[in-house]
Chains A and B, each alone.
Chain A
C-alpha cells in the first residue's frame, strides 16, 4: 500500500502514468478511508487507465464491470448456470434420486456463475474493482450497487451471505451523462480529472512517444491545448494527442503547416463541423 500521495505519483510514473499531486492525494485518501473513488471528467483523460495502473502498482487483481443501459444483477453479480443444473437434474433422475436430494445438489457453488461484483467480493487477494461508465447504467442498478458498496456483502438466497474477504478498492467512472443519487455520491470520494495542462501533457507525449523531437512536441501540445479552448463539439483527448504525435512521426513530418493539418485533422477531431471550424482559423494563432 502507498505511504503518501507522493509515493503514488512515483509508482504511477514508473508505469508511465502521470498524475498530479492533487489528484494523487485524492486517490490516497480514497484508499485510506476505504471509500469508493468516483472519477469524473471528459472522455479520454485516463479515468479507466487510472484504475488499471492502481491495480498494477498495488499488485491487486483487476476486475472490471463495464456498465450499459439495461445492465442487471444477473450480469453484474451472479447467475445460476441453468444448463448445467438441468443436466444434473437429468443425471440424478436416471439414478432415481429423490427430489429433495436433487434440489440440494443443484444450488451449490458449482452451479454458480460469478459475475464481476461477486468475483471481486469473494477474492482472497487484494482487488481493484473498476465499475466503468456507471452513468450509462440505470438508476435501479445504481441503488443496487449502493447496497453492495455500503455492506460489502451479497446475499444469495439459496446459498447464504457472501461477505467480502477484504474490502476491494473500488473505482467508479463517469462521463457525466447523468447525475447520480445523493446516497451514492455521499459514499464516494470525488475526483474530477480535466484535460492536463501544458507541462503535464508535454510530459505525457514525451513518455508515450519516445523519439519525438522536443521542439516539435512543444508545437503539437500547444496546438492541441489551444484547440481545447475553442468550443468544439468534441475536444481532442490525451489519447488523440498521442495518436496524432505518433502519426506525424510515422509520416516523417516535423512541422505543423496548414497542409499537414488538412491531411491529419481526422486523427484528433472526430466531427466534420469541428474540422471545418479549425480550418477557418488562422494557424499562427493556434500554434502560439
Chain B
C-alpha cells in the first residue's frame, strides 16, 4: 500500500524483526512464532500507523507491564505520522489503556498484592522467569511498590540466620540481599537497554 507506510526504508519483515530484537534488549521476550503472528496480523489490518500499533501490541506483548516500554519504543521506531493527528498530539492510540493517562494504576495487581504475602509468594514462583532479578525489573517498570516490598522482604528472609550487627554487617547484608535479587544484573540490563536505544535511535 504505497503512500500509507511512512517509513519504508527496509522491507517490512526486516523492520519488524529488527524492532523485536530491540524489544528483547529491553527484556521483553519475543519468540519467532510471535514475529510470524505479527506479520500475519499486519497483512490483515494494513499499514496505517494506529493499526500497526494495535496489531504489534496484541501479537508481541503479552504482559500489561511491558506496554509502556513497547509504546515508547514503537514511537521511536515507527516515526511516521499518525493518520489521525500529528505525532505526540493524540499520537498514541493506546494511551487511554496503558499510557500515562492511566497514572500507573493497575487495579487487579494492586488487589492481588494487597491480599498479603500469599500472592507475593505465588508471583515469586511464577514471575516472568520465576527469577527475582526479572521480577525486580518488572516491579521497577510497573512502579509496583507492593511487589518491591515483597521482593525486599523475601531477600531479607533469604539471608536470615544472621544476627543484626553494626554498620559493617548491615552493609554486608544489603550486599547479600542485592545478590539474591540479581541487582547488578537487573541494573546492567536496564542501562544496556537505555544505551543501546540511544545508539540506534538518536
| A contact set with B: CB distance below 8 Å | 5, 22, 25-26, 28-30, 32-33, 35, 38, 40-43, 139, 175-182, 185-192, 194-195, 197, 228-229, 231, 233-235
Taken together as a complex, chains A and B put the C-alpha atoms of A187 and B33 apart, in Å, by 8
CB pair B37–A190 under 8 Å, yes or no, is: no
CB pair B44–A28 under 8 Å, yes or no, is: yes
| B contact set with A: CB distance below 8 Å | 29, 31, 33-34, 37, 40-41, 44-45, 51, 54-55, 57-59, 61-64, 67, 93-94, 96-98, 102-103, 105, 107-112, 114, 119, 122-123, 126-128
Taken together as a complex, chains A and B put the C-alpha atoms of A179 and B44 apart, in Å, by 29
CB pair A179–B110 under 8 Å, yes or no, is: no
- Distance (whole angstroms) from the CB of B64 to the closest CB of chain A: 5
Contacts of B126 in A (CB 8 A): 139, 178-181
- Distance (whole angstroms) from the CB of A32 to the closest CB of chain B: 6
CB pair A38–B107 under 8 Å, yes or no, is: no
Task: List 6 interface pairs A-B (beta carbons < 8 Å), by A numbering.
Answer: A33-B41, A41-B108, A42-B107, A139-B126, A177-B112, A234-B111
Taken together as a complex, chains A and B put the C-alpha atoms of A208 and B63 apart, in Å, by 31
CB pair A192–B98 under 8 Å, yes or no, is: yes
Contacts A32-B44, A38-B62, A234-B111 aside, 4 further interface pairs with beta carbons under 8 A come to A42-B107, A176-B108, A182-B31, A192-B64
Contacts of A180 in B (CB 8 A): 126
CB pair B54–A33 under 8 Å, yes or no, is: no
CB pair B54–A25 under 8 Å, yes or no, is: yes
CB pair B41–A22 under 8 Å, yes or no, is: no
CB pair B105–A22 under 8 Å, yes or no, is: no
